[in-house]
Structure 1
Amino acid sequence: MSSQPSLVDELWDSLVTAVIAAAAGLWWLLRHPWLLGTVLVVAGVIVVGGWTAGALVLGFTVAVIAGLRWLRPDLFARLVSRPLRRAQTGSRYRRDWGRVTDLCSLTKELDGRTLRPDLLRVDVGDVSDRLLLRMVTGQSLADWERACPELASSLGGHLARVRADEPGRLWLEVIRDDALADVIPARPTSTSDEVDQVTVGVREDGRPWVLRLLGTHVFVAGVQGAGKGSVIWSVLRGLARPINSGLVQVWAVDPKGGMELAFGRPLFTRFACENTAVMVELLEDAVTVMDARCGRLAGVTRMHHPTTDEPLVLVIVDELSTLTAYEPDTKLRNRATAAISALLARGRAAAVVVLAAAQDPRKEVVSFRSLFPTKVALRLDTPSQVDMVLGDGMHQMGALADRIPAGRPGVGYVTVEGIREPVRVRAAYVTDEQIHAQTLDYPAPTAVAAALAVDGGDPQ
């Protein structure tokens, strides 16, 4: 004869089930602070004003949120959905942190204890998140750099990289959404006369990619079709007003016979594409301008700030290796190399800036890459080429330019002087129609300015 459960047993089982359910519900609420806050507010209203008041408050809140979602989706996103997503994402990072560090081999064992890196802070952004960590004793930044692929997949991102903070601490950046997946449309023509900070595209965190020009030189490398033209034309578009006002002079060299740059000829104060001799003469004239300006500024300033009388001279060389490696005439090749080397060595302080592009970044092709403080690696063929362009160890630090899909021109990695970590970016795409419109609306002043600049004199 089987025994039947007693009433006490049934009550006990029901009590245990209720406690477990309540604990699980409380734990779920603690993991969703926004909902916990709502529950506490409604409960407080019920305690003070009764169930009717609580129902009215809850109904009113739901109606307001629904109306906001329908009538003002932008405001709903800013006030409700984005804070909610940030809270959920931050909670997920903290909940999964121990398991992720264990599985990615980022823990240490000491005296039978497992030492894990501390998660100090979580900053959740629109497309990427930043986690501030305290490393375990015995770890280095290199340990985390090697684990970035595993960390990215474990934390729900498609890319992860680390950046140094202070000794013993680092920032782990997790890229969740690819802000660079789609073509970046060209920005409206700027109405500013700013010549230093030029917006040329978007960074992987969704912020504008601002390229510094004053006090630097820029080297852009990438295989054919990687988007070098997007970088060049985006720079020119960002300088539309200064070019038109004479605050910037663009001296352009196109060894492709004008195939790339001739379309924007009215934007250039000087332009050479006919043959190597003419292009080398333009480069040597730029050296003359630089030397004359350095002589006038000696003892006056260490960094020239452009004016319409002493403008920034931007020397654009579309395919650098054509002049410095592939030119069959040894004398012309040596003259081109000497002129470019002189500009790179002394032009920064005099506001004579070189923006050069190349398909082949090998040392024997571009022997003076180290003289470019700002480097951009678009799609390349091999990891070694990435390090050739950006510097040793950049591929390991996350500059995976060799893995950029062929269908994403303008995507690349940039390094700037004084900042160790590379940044993933995408240059905007400037259409032929936009270039043509700029040549009509913002052409460079007459070429008389160039002749005066070379002579270093005044109009008679």
Structure 2
Amino acid sequence: MARHPAITTTPPALATSMLELGPVTTGSALAALGAAGLGWYRGHPKTFDRWAAPALRSARRRWVRYVGHRWRGLMIDCEFGRENRRTGHIEVPRLLRVRSASPSIDTLYVKVLRGQSLKRFQDATDELAMALRADALGIVKVKPGVIAITVVRGNPFEQVIDPAEIPADSSDVDLSALYLGEDEYGNDWTEPLIGQHWLGVGATGSGKGSLIWNPLRAMGPAIRDGLVQVDMCDVKGGMEAGNARPLFDRYADEPGEALEVIEAFRDDMKSTQRELGEAGKRKFTVSHDTPLRVLMVDELAMMTALGESGITRKAVKLLAEVMTQGRAAGFSVCAYLQEPTKDILPVRDLFTRRMCLRTTAENHADMALGEGMRVKGALADEIPADEEHAGIGFRVDQYARRPVRVRAGYVSDDDISELVRTCPAPTGDTSSNVVEFRRDDDADEDAA
């Protein structure tokens, strides 16, 4: 009764209510409770999925899917049972609690028997996955004597997700909810950009490009009308965004030029801060005079760790300055990289919105999304490395602090061409920015 008070006290409570209040009153109260739950589910499904659904799923699966005899049989079949030499009773690891963060993810907290180790469970991952009918399984230590088994079943994204639609007018652009794809509940996956800094993590071929192009398509008319200005640092030699230069206010495809773009972005932030201060304003409003400024950096590791030491030190300092001061002035940073370790990204904790696609190491999910997210179900390292699963990853619900499985919309080359054709920045072809940087370098060489 102490371990499961809700289950053990409900039948006595119902019996008492029937005796004291009568069946009509009891039935009416239960009907009203059910109607209220149904109304909540149909009227505001997002909050229902956030607060009520996980608790209901956890209780249902605990007493249906993982009920005592089923769990006991599973442990014995996987050779985790042990006979007590004194009593002759077969002991098995005890299931402490079940948490279901989403319809396809369960986290089982298990108290192991004395003498059993984490490694023994990890070595039996394949057997446990088959017994639990799981597509992916993660096993980690929670505390001495307790492990967490994260069970992922099925792929809720059987179809490719369409890319973000380009709004007809800038008034239709919602910078507080830019479309990126869908979540596993079938709802639109949106993220706020205004006042936020994004970090997208994913291995090669995981679909990080969709995290770049979907928000650009979603705010395309605002770029065209000068309400949003985007600076792009594509330090993969221009392979990602080289054909979309008309979208950007500044563009660079080499680390040296990218550093100049980042520094100019910082200088613009300082200038905007002074103008707002002189006007007596504490926060900017999106307008033609004070547009939302966005700095996008693809393969950020080249600017923070893997490039020349002089460039990386200065780039890290500039990015930290922008991300700690840019919110009120309307300056946001969107960065994308493969490895989110502190050695690669010292300013990782300054990013306010984080998305994690497929990774190559199991600890990358916790580094990208926050400590404990892999235990709660963010098995980013278990996502198959094929085109069928490209764009699938995890984000964190900002209220419930649970990982939610998502899939970014697939943006084709034709979709990018459509965006460039219909929503170029007001300055037109901004490739001259790159030439200007090179011309300055040539002038410095001539002067030398």
Q: So what's the TM-score if we normalise by structure 2?
A: 0.63
Question: Does the Cα contact within 8 Å between 1:195 and 1:248 map onto a contact in 2?
Answer: no
Q: CA deviation at 1:450?
A: 12
Q: What are the Cα deviations for residues 312-353 of structure 1, in whole angstroms up to 9, with x where unaligned?
A: 11100001110111112x322222111111111111222111
1:402 to 376, 381, 394: 381
What's the counterpart of residue 279 of structure 1?
258
Question: Does the Cα contact within 8 Å between 1:104 and 1:151 map onto a contact in 2?
Answer: no
What's the counterpart of residue 363 of structure 1?
342
Task: Name the amino acid aligned to 1:196.
Answer: S
Supply the distance in 2 between the matched residues of 1:309 and 1:231 (Cα, whole angstroms). 28
Supply the distance in 2 between the matched residues of 1:197 and 1:104 (Cα, whole angstroms). 43
What's the counterpart of residue 167 of structure 2?
190
Is 2:331 the counterpart of 1:352? yes
What's the counterpart of residue 178 of structure 1?
155
What's the counterpart of residue 367 of structure 2?
388
Task: Name the amino acid aligned to 1:101.
Answer: V
Is 2:426 the counterpart of 1:445? yes
The verdict on how the C-alpha distance between 1:216 and 1:284 changes in structure 2, with shifts beyond 3 A counting, is same
The verdict on how the C-alpha distance between 1:249 and 1:99 changes in structure 2, with shifts beyond 3 A counting, is closer
Question: Does the Cα contact within 8 Å between 1:179 and 1:204 map onto a contact in 2?
Answer: yes
1:309 to 284, 289, 297: 289
What's the counterpart of residue 253 of structure 1?
233
The verdict on how the C-alpha distance between 1:362 and 1:117 changes in structure 2, with shifts beyond 3 A counting, is closer
Task: Name the amino acid aligned to 2:339.
Answer: D
What's the counterpart of residue 427 of structure 1?
408
Supply the distance in 1 between the matched residues of 2:129 and 2:190 (Cα, whole angstroms). 26
The verdict on how the C-alpha distance between 1:447 and 1:291 changes in structure 2, with shifts beyond 3 A counting, is farther
Q: CA deviation at 1:301?
A: 4.8
Query: After the TM superposition, which residues 93-172 of structure 1 pair with which residues of structure 2 at under 5 Å, given as runs?
Result: 97=63, 100-102=66-68, 103-104=70-71, 128=103, 143=109
What's the counterpart of residue 210 of structure 2?
230
What's the counterpart of residue 436 of structure 1?
417
Q: What are the Cα deviations for residues 371-422 of structure 1, in whole angstroms up to 9, with x where unaligned?
A: 0011111111121121121121111111110001111211111136555212
Task: Name the amino acid aligned to 1:369.
Answer: R
What's the counterpart of residue 323 of structure 1?
303
The verdict on how the C-alpha distance between 1:160 and 1:301 changes in structure 2, with shifts beyond 3 A counting, is farther
What's the counterpart of residue 268 of structure 1?
248
Q: CA deviation at 1:241?
A: 1.3
What's the counterpart of residue 216 of structure 1?
196
SS state at 2:327 partner: coil
Unaligned runs of 5+ in 1: 1-77, 79-89, 106-115, 132-140, 162-172, 452-460
Q: So what's the TM-score if we normalise by structure 1?
A: 0.61
SS state at 1:200 partner: strand
Supply the distance in 2 between the matched residues of 1:364 and 1:94 (Cα, whole angstroms). 43
Supply the distance in 1 between the matched residues of 2:431 and 2:111 (Cα, whole angstroms). 49
1:411 to 385, 392, 396: 392
Question: Does the Cα contact within 8 Å between 1:195 and 1:242 map onto a contact in 2?
Answer: no
Unaligned runs of 5+ in 2: 1-41, 43-55, 73-94, 113-124, 139-149, 433-448
Alignment RMSD: 4.0
The one of the two structures with greater contact order (alpha-carbon pairs below 8 A, sep at least 6) is 2
Question: Does the Cα contact within 8 Å between 2:97 and 2:108 map onto a contact in 1?
Answer: no
